[in-house]
Amino acid sequence: MMDYRALEALVAVLECRGFERAAQRLNVSQSAVSQRIRQLEFRLGQPVLLRTSPPRLTDLGQRLTNHLQQVQQLEQGLLLPQESAESVKIRLAVNADTLDTWLAPALLRCDDYVQMDFDFVVEDQDVGLKRMRNGEVMACICATAAPVNGGLSQPLGVMRYRALASPEFIRRHQLKRSQKAIAQLPCLIFSGDDRLQHRFLQSVSPEHAEPQRTHQCPSSGGFVRMALAGIGYGMIPQVQVAEHIKSGELRDVVPGYHLDVPLYWHYWQTESSLLKSLRSAVVAEAKKILLPLKR
């Protein structure tokens, strides 16, 4: 049987960034908090918390805190509305472009969002599912259709990307004349996991599918601003920059090219009523914003 008092102590230490404040939150002594976590580690045979400043979870500690969240959500679903006064933390893995475009109004669609405290884990849409696989998050938005063991997935729609740059960038590199040397031009990438630019180059210049010069910009909004300033070209969601495209501030590097990325909502089979409500709201908003997924 899991010691849930120890798990609550673990979460408190993490969220309060230390043992002293965690003890104050739980109304126990600091030594009691330390003892609960030590006993948990002794029982499991490995550490759950790195005693750094601030403390950090081990992989096992992360899975345990996620398990506690699942239990709390299931308990929440058993309570009557007037008994459900406490909020529940929802840890959600999501790609930055979704977070910066349509996710906020999707959350507001959920009638129960006032009971939720969101913890967003930003991951590229091609790798976010690893967070589900490791048991670190309650749900995940990513580009992978196949669910993890113990999980299910539901299609959301398609995010359309276009290879865009400023008119000055296109003029400076004479892209209207020739696109043969496009692999040598400065290219914006979000992170080391971001492969959209590589897929673009594979389509337009198969012999040079690796960008030779890159600017790594781990900010979706900053990514757009870099493109507007002419720092480089990049794959940007059409929905995010529709106004900039309409005004001519951003133009297609290769006219007519686009890349459609499917998105899916992943969730556990032990989904609580709270998370089911959230999923329904996200799916409804995605149908409004994203392009339909081709069958």
pLDDT tens-digit readout, 169-198: 999 998 876 666 788 899 999 988 889 999
Confidence (pLDDT) at 52: 87
DSSP 3-state of 116? strand
* pLDDT bracket for residue 159 (50, 70, 90): very high
Confidence (pLDDT) at 1: 67
Confidence (pLDDT) at 84: 52
Mean pLDDT over 271-290 rounds to: 93
Q: Which amino acid is at 119?
A: D
For residue 71, what are its two tokens? Answer: 């239990």
CATH number of 159-260: 3.40.190.10
Q: Which amino acid is at 244?
A: H
Confidence (pLDDT) at 230: 96
Please state, in angstroms and rounded to a whole number, the distance separating the CA atoms of residues 106 and 149. Answer: 26
* pLDDT tens-digit readout, 39-61: 988 888 899 888 888 888 888 88
Confidence (pLDDT) at 90: 87
**Using an 8 Å Cβ cutoff, are 137 and 131 in contact?**
yes
Confidence (pLDDT) at 104: 95
**Percentage of the chain modeled with pLDDT above 70:** 93
Confidence (pLDDT) at 141: 95
Confidence (pLDDT) at 278: 94
For residue 30, what are its two tokens? Answer: 């600091």
Confidence (pLDDT) at 196: 93
* pLDDT bracket for residue 76 (50, 70, 90): low
* pLDDT bracket for residue 209 (50, 70, 90): confident
Mean pLDDT over 94-101 rounds to: 94
Please state, in angstroms and rounded to a whole number, the distance separating the CA atoms of residues 281 and 102. Answer: 12
Confidence (pLDDT) at 80: 44
pLDDT at 273 over 50: yes
Closest CA to 194 of 242, 241, 134, 261: 261
* pLDDT bracket for residue 73 (50, 70, 90): low
Instruction: Provide the residue ranges of all domains of the chain, joining segments of one domain with +.
Output: 159-260
Q: Which helix (H) or strand (E) holds 157?
A: strand 151-165
pLDDT at 161 over 80: yes
Beta 139-142 vs 213-216: how paired, if at all? unpaired
DSSP 3-state of 164? strand
**Using an 8 Å Cβ cutoff, are 20 and 56 in contact?**
no
Please state, in angstroms and rounded to a whole number, the distance separating the CA atoms of residues 222 and 172. Answer: 22
For residue 10, what are its two tokens? Answer: 């673990």
Measured at the alpha carbon of residue 239, what is the angle toward residues 294 and 186, in degrees to the nearest 5? 105
How does the average pLDDT of the chain come out, rounded?
88
Please state, in angstroms and rounded to a whole number, the distance separating the CA atoms of residues 9 and 12. Answer: 5
Please state, in angstroms and rounded to a whole number, the distance separating the CA atoms of residues 288 and 278. Answer: 16
